[in-house]
């Protein structure tokens, strides 16, 4: 039958599975042992940072021409997934490096790519993303941050909220209004701001439910003067570039959610096979087996959605907006259900910090919120459907 070999398309390649095994080794030796302490102390996972740099997993998406390893979208997702399986906070290092730099990759000039991508690829600098504000979260076009032209510079004033790895990253893609009287949504421009720029400071670290190892802070701009050649794309194109960026990076949040859920299922399986009640292992009870089956079934469906979306991201398919939103939305909802059920399977033990399940449950929640809440994802999907 013609096309029979096409069934191989539904299998990850040998390269991707070798990559997975390599990431798993790094995670086992250099990331997992510190995950509980990172959460307990709410500190940046420096051990994971250093291990990811040493293994070229810090920003694997950067193309080879900019000193990167040129990992495709699926490979990048696998890195994030496997790190998140042990520590969601650490998985935000490669995820946010992609988020912050993707506007540069999609819309930046050759000069700006050559300036900012090689240090990122080498692990010398992290890259964060400044889009949301206090009063402009889901309503991104309602932002108030301003960038006013002044000769061959722009002067930034305003703030950004909920910025992942703020204070740790050296580079920030920042969206600001450059034409206050212009049409809404077409008056925003993207810029690269450097941590050392005068007038650029950070708020206090947010005290969060989960991902405590990843610092979340506000960005403050007080007459922050930056060269005009730090503009990403053309004036007024910022929001278009930002939304194109999210089409690609929502897939990585889906991968993070899959990793968190897989880690929770791993621990739950190990526990139910050891724990005994009524004279036998609780894994032998049909009620427990049904829970495990549902958890694994939904998790695998989420993983396949993420991988399909990653392939579409790599090809830049026309329907990426739908699949990126669907993968992020479904995988994060699954992560919340699986981690909650995993806590339930451990009973009282799952509610304690002696096991990582309560941390994974807390970490899973943010995947339903950031890079667009799941309500926004459903709006994105519905609009794509209605457009045909």
Domain ranges of the chain: 8-121, 127-239, 240-387
Dihedral, CA of residue 168, residue 364, residue 42 and residue 356, to nearest 10: -130
Task: Count Cβ atoms below 10 Å from residue 304 Cβ, excluding itself.
Answer: 13
State how far the Cα of 273 lies from the Cα of 257, in Å rounded to an integer. Answer: 25
Do domains 8-121 and 240-387 share one topology? The answer is no
* Helices and strands in the chain: count of H runs, count of E runs: 11, 10
For strand 231-232 and strand 188-194, is the pairing parallel, antiparallel, or unpaired?
A: antiparallel
CATH superfamily of 8-121: Acyl-CoA dehydrogenase/oxidase, N-terminal domain (1.10.540.10)
What pLDDT is attached to residue 2?
44
The residue behind tokens 């992942």 is: 164
Q: Which of 82, 237, 358, 371 is catalytic?
A: 371
Catalytic annotation present for 204: no
Domain range 240-387, its CATH number among 3.10.400.10, 3.65.10.10, 1.20.140.10, 1.20.1070.10: 1.20.140.10
Domain range 127-239, its CATH number among 2.40.110.10, 3.60.15.10, 3.40.50.2020, 3.40.50.2000: 2.40.110.10
Task: Count Cβ atoms below 10 Å from residue 47 Cβ, excluding itself.
Answer: 17
Give the angle 383-386-388 at the CA atoms, nearest 5°: 115
What pLDDT is attached to residue 1?
40
Q: What is the pTM assigned to this prediction?
A: 0.96
What pLDDT is attached to residue 11?
86
List, in sequence order, the alpha helices (H) in the chain: 14-26, 35-41, 46-54, 73-84, 88-107, 110-121, 238-274, 286-315, 320-346, 357-367, 374-387
Nearest alpha carbon to residue 295 among 271, 278, 319: 271
- Each of the 388 residues of the chain gets a pLDDT tens digit; together they read 444 455 455 789 999 999 999 999 999 999 999 999 999 999 999 999 999 999 999 999 999 999 999 999 999 999 999 999 999 999 999 999 999 999 999 999 999 999 999 999 999 999 999 999 999 989 999 999 999 999 999 999 999 999 999 999 999 999 999 999 999 989 999 999 999 999 999 999 999 999 999 999 999 999 999 999 999 999 999 999 999 999 999 999 999 999 999 999 999 999 999 999 999 999 999 999 999 999 999 999 999 999 999 999 999 999 999 999 999 999 999 999 999 999 999 999 999 999 999 999 999 999 999 999 999 999 999 999 999 8
């Amino acid at each position: 039958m013609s096309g029979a070999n096409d069934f191989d398309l539904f299998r990850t390649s040998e390269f991707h599975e070798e990559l997975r095994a390599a990431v798993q080794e790094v995670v086992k030796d250099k990331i997992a042992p510190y995950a509980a302490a990172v959460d307990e102390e709410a500190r940046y996972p420096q051990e994971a940072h250093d291990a990811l740099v040493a293994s070229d997993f810090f920003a694997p998406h950067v193309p080879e021409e900019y000193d990167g390893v040129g990992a495709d979208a699926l490979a990048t997702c696998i890195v994030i997934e496997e790190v998140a399986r042990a520590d969601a906070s650490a998985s935000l290092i490669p995820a946010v490096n992609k988020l912050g730099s993707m506007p540069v990759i999609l819309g930046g000039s050759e000069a700006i790519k050559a300036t900012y991508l090689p240090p990122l690829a080498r692990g010398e600098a992290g890259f964060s993303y400044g889009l949301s504000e206090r009063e402009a979260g889901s309503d991104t076009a309602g932002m108030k941050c301003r960038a006013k032209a002044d000769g061959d510079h722009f002067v930034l004033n305003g703030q950004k909220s909920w910025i992942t790895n703020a204070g740790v990253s050296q580079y920030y893609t920042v969206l600001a209004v450059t034409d206050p009287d212009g049409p809404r949504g077409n008056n925003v421009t993207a810029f690269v701001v450097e941590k050392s720029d005068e007038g650029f400071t950070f708020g206090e670290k947010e005290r969060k439910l989960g991902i405590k190892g990843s610092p979340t802070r506000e960005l403050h701009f007080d007459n922050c003067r930056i060269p005009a050649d730090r503009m990403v794309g053309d004036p007024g194109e910022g929001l278009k570039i930002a939304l194109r960026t999210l089409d690609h990076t929502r897939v990585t949040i889906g991968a993070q959610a899959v990793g968190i859920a897989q880690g929770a299922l791993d621990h739950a399986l190990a526990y139910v096979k050891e724990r005994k009640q009524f004279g036998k292992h609780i894994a032998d009870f049909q009620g427990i087996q049904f829970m495990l089956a549902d958890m694994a079934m939904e998790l695998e469906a989420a993983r396949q959605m993420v991988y399909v979306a990653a392939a579409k991201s790599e090809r830049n398919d026309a329907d990426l907006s739908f699949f990126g939103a669907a993968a992020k939305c479904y995988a994060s909802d699954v992560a919340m259900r699986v981690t909650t059920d995993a806590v339930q399977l451990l009973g009282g033990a799952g509610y304690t910090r002696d096991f990582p399940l309560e941390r994974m449950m807390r970490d899973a929640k943010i995947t339903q919120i950031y890079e667009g809440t799941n309500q926004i994802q459903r709006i994105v999907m519905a609009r794509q459907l209605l457009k045909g």
